[in-house]
Amino acid sequence: MNKTIAVIPARYNSTRFPGKLMEILGDKTVITTTYQNVVETGLFDEVFVATDSEIIFDEISKNG
């Protein structure tokens, strides 16, 4: 059986807007909102966040 996965690239230190993914959007961070929206589509068997940041890793671990 084949699995369908989603990979969300989540780099913390972008050059134009460092830390953008940890900004609050509504009542959640951008990365949490993105992750939860992808999961809620129901299109994927697994959803991964690919990051170089412990801050983002901790955010998804806590809220994902």
Give residue 50's pLDDT. 97
pTM of the model: 0.90
pLDDT tens for 16-57 read: 888 999 999 999 999 999 999 999 999 999 999 999 999 999
Q: Is the pLDDT of residue 1 over 80?
A: yes
Give residue 21's pLDDT. 96
Structure tokens at 9: 């690239």
Give residue 14's pLDDT. 82
Give residue 47's pLDDT. 97
* C-alpha distance from residue 56 to each of 4, 10, 19, 36, 52 (Å): 23, 8, 9, 14, 8
